[in-house]
Structure formats: structure tokens, C-alpha cells
Chain A
């Protein structure tokens, strides 16, 4: 029974540490022990976020960042799911492509960024390509394992019920692999965000990553923290959104959405 009185209490008892950390930050910032320019108070950071938002700066740069994230992630999702299915379905193909994954996995693909810039310029495309390349790995690998694990009994029973090949694929293999595919998405999306921010920080003319480095170079520290706060909020929101979408689509195998639950 969750009454109106016990609910906030239960919620606080589960999230109190977040408020402790925020409170400590504020305490240190206002104590005068540290230079407020190096350690701005939360109020100062919030004010900068507001300034950025009011001047449209935040919208412009966040849009650029999000466009790159979604374009790269979308391309990787299409390519990765297709590749994963093919690898699981055709063994020879799988064996030919597998070394690319097992040897390529530990190689930091960011190393290819200078070449991407040379080929595709410092605009959207170089970032999107690198994001797609980086996200391809978890998505393809998880799809591969998900498809391989699709229970053979399901396949047989579907075939014995007279399903065509296309039907077996769409109605059995796809749903059976879906939880694993979404695990791949869940790993890939934060990676997409990291790569976009990284590449924007290295060289760009737009995007939140660029905004943060620009603010840092022009010594407006509060703006650096505001940019970090914006990136954090977007990263968190993206992850939550994907988790909700996942549970809508894969309703037979729900995962906990609770912030503080070890069982997810």
C-alpha cells in the first residue's frame, strides 16, 4: 500500500545519496574554501544553463549533437541487425566476418577519426560515420547471439504449423531475438553519445562537445559546467527513453525501470 504520506518517504530513502552529493557540492561551492570560478555553485550553473537556453545556443548545439547521435545510431542499428542476422543464419558468412568483430572489438575506432575528417569533412558526416562504426559492434554481436539462441523448438513448432520462411523470420526469429537486440541498442546508445561528444571536442564547429571545449578555451568556467549538465541530462534522458520503448515493444520480458534496482 502506497499512501500519499509514505510515498515521498520511500522515494527519499532510496535516492537520498543523490541529494547528499548535490548538497555537499553546494556546501563546498559556497564555503569559500575554493575559488568559486573553479567550483561554481549549482545556482550559478543553473543560471548559465538558463542563459544558454535563452540565447538559443543550447537548442542549436543540442540539435546538432542529437542529429549526429541518431543518424549514426540509426545507421548502425540497420546495418548491425542485418549483419547479426546474416552471421547467425549463414555459417560461412559468420566465420568470414567474425574476425572483424573479435579482433576489431578492442581496437579504439576513434583512431580513424582523422581519416574520417579527411574523407568526410568536419561537419556531420565524419561524426556520423564514426558513431555508426562504433555502435555497429555491440548491435551486431548481440543480434548474432540473440538469433542463435532463438529456441529451436519455437522454430520447429512454427514450421510444423505451416509457417512460411518469411513468417518464421518475422513472427518467431525476430521476437525471439528482440530482447538481445535491445540489449545491444542499450549498450550502443550511450556509446553513440560518447563518440559524438568526443569528436565534437576534438574538432567541430557545432555541437555540445564543441560548446564545452569552446567555453573551456574562453575561460568561462560556469559555462563549461552548464554544458556538462546539459550533456548529462540528454544522456540520461536518451537512456530512459530507450528503456521505456524497449518495455513497450518487448512486453513479454519486461525489465525494471526503477532507478534504484539492481535486478535490471
Chain B
């Protein structure tokens, strides 16, 4: 069997799904990292240089001052308080919306009866900006965390439902046949074929939902917060006080929280989704 030498057949296996712009080996990776960090680094340096020369308008506070302000916020415990209030709203809403979206989406994918009920409703209301319903929710539940959380949950439901539903529908029926042939019960076929086969798409839906939950958390906080907490409220009060240093610090904090949550989700995806080719396809 001549074609079985590892060198000949598996050049791709050595470099498991190389990310875009990433190089091969440690040196290549460091180089790729350097290239990708170059643009932001240069931007920050120029910004800092111009700011210290006094060449920028007052509202473009120098990155150094923003960093100092951020450190002060962190030291006083304010940052933690606001960030945890925001995270509570966005993550509880995200959890409620995405769990129900994935569950109903999977169920609709498996059962035509369930799909017949939910698919038309979701298709009809999906392009509607759900944020417009916030005043409606406020009418029912008041300006509370509850109305914010419900808004986030409703918004997160859609991308998750659609990803799971279409994911199940695109599962190769032959995989199910193969599973049944190998002695799997229907429940085993669901948990060991349908679920892993749709995992990648479900994570795509979760990632969109997570980004949405942060947009809506921030937007709803900018519209009014009942208990004067949250990163959006911090931003709003900095704006009202004309404190550009504090404003940029708040923006930096928001960016970091968003980035960390997204990276955590991507890490979970890497741990749970197997066998993906470069470019994201699951078909082997």
C-alpha cells in the first residue's frame, strides 16, 4: 500500500486547521502575531505621540491617561460593580434566550409538527428589530433588570433557533441510517449524531447571540437604568459630566468584557466541536 506513508498523505494533518494569517511552527506563529498586532500598535503609538504633543482635540484623550483612569476605576471597585451588573443582565438574558432557542430549534429540526408551528412565527418576526419592543416590555415589567433581560433573551432566541433548526435539517440522513445500522437507538442517534453534527452551527448561532446580548445590554442601559449601575450607565454619566477620560475608560472596559466573553465562547467551541476543516465545513 504505497499511498499510506504519513508524509505523502497527511501534510494537512500536521497543521490542524491553521487560522487565517497564522504561520506554520512557533517562529511562523510569532511572526503572524507580530503582523496582526502591528496596525493597532502603530495606531496607539501615533495617538499617544500626537496627544502628548497637544496636537489632538481635547476629546481624544491620550491612551496613557485612559489606562490610568481604567486602573483607578478598577482599584476603587467601581469597575467591578458596573461590569458585574452589566454582565448579569447580558449573560442571564443570553442564557435564557439561547437555551430556549437551541432547544426549540433542535426540536423543530427533528419534529415536522413542532417546526410547522414555530418556523412561520420565527420567519415572520426574525427581521423585526426586537429592540423596538423594549418600551412594550417596560410597559409590562417596568424599568427593571427584568425588562432588559427579557429583551436580551428574546433577541438571543432567534439566531440560536435558526442555527439549530437549519443545522438539524442539514444533517446528512445517511449518518442517521449508518447510526441505526450500527445498533443505535433513536435517542442515541440524536445525542451522538444529530447533536455533534449540528454543534458547529449551534456555536455560530451562539456567537451571534452573544454579540447581540452585549449590544442590547448597552443600548438598554444607555436608555435608562433603574439602579444606576452598568457599564452603559458609567458611559452615560461620563458623557453627562464631560469626562472624556472616563468615557474612553468605560469604552475600553466594554470592549474588553465583550472580547473576553467572545474568546471564552470560541475556546468552548474548540473544545466541543471536532473534525472541522479549515473554512469551517464539517463534511468529511
Contacts and interface: CB of A to CB of B under 8 A. Distances in A.
Q: Taking the complex as a whole, does A directly touch B, i.e. does some CB pair lie under 8 Å apart?
A: yes
Is chain A's interface secondary structure helix, strand, loop, or mixed overall? helix
Nearest to A14: B120
Contact of A202 (B132, B139, B223): B223
A96 B39 contact: yes
A197 to B, nearest CB: 5
B123 interface: yes
Interface string A96-133: 11111001011111111111001100000000000000
Given A115-B59, A260-B119, A262-B166, A198 B214 contact: no
Size band of the interface chain A makes with B: 35 or more
Is chain B's interface secondary structure helix, strand, loop, or mixed overall? helix
A190 B123 CA distance: 13
B120 A38 contact: no
Given A105-B211, A108-B211, A235-B127, A228 B132 contact: yes
B254 interface: yes
Given A96-B39, A99-B39, A108-B215, A197 B132 contact: yes
A108 B215 CA distance: 5
A222 B239 CA distance: 33
A10 interface: no
Contacts of B247: 114-115
Tell me which of B39, B165, B261 has the highest count of chain A C-beta atoms within 10 A of its own C-beta.
B39
Interface of B: 20-21, 32, 35-40, 59, 109, 115-121, 123-136, 138-140, 165-166, 169, 210-211, 214-215, 217-219, 222-223, 231-232, 235-236, 238-239, 247, 250-251, 254-255, 258-259, 261-263, 279
20 contacts: A17-B117, A38-B140, A98-B20, A100-B39, A103-B259, A106-B258, A106-B261, A107-B255, A107-B258, A108-B211, A108-B254, A118-B239, A194-B130, A197-B132, A198-B131, A198-B215, A212-B132, A259-B123, A260-B116, A262-B119
